[in-house]
Amino acid sequence: MALKITDECINCDVCEPACPNQAIYQGEQIYEIDPNKCTECVGHFETPQCQQVCPVDCIPLDPNHVETHDQLMEKYRQLTDS
């Protein structure tokens, strides 16, 4: 599953640089996550880095983008050409 940022986001700017896939960007109101780039940090880290640094815990799994670990790994490979 990709992750998503909820409207509890306080725009603290810590999640964007923590994302190894550059999937996080500033939206109109709050930060957003591009589900086509989000691998939940599979291939990079054991846990999603944006969730680790978020001070308000507003980055849950996105039920609209369900993916298996294998699918996330394949996305990682495609994004990194590995």
Q: What is the tens place of the pLDDT at every residue in 19-68?
A: 999 999 999 999 999 999 999 999 999 999 999 999 999 999 999 999 99
Cα 14–Cα 28–Cα 55 angle in degrees, nearest 5: 25
Structure confidence at residue 50 (pLDDT): 98
Structure confidence at residue 14 (pLDDT): 97
* Dist CA 70 CA 75 (whole Å): 9
1 has a pLDDT exceeding 90? no
- Top-level class of domain 15-80: alpha beta
82 has a pLDDT exceeding 80? no
7 has a pLDDT exceeding 80? yes
Structure confidence at residue 46 (pLDDT): 96
* Rounded alpha-carbon distances, angstroms, from residue 28 to 11, 25, 32, 51, 74: 11, 10, 9, 21, 30
The whole-model pTM stands at 0.93
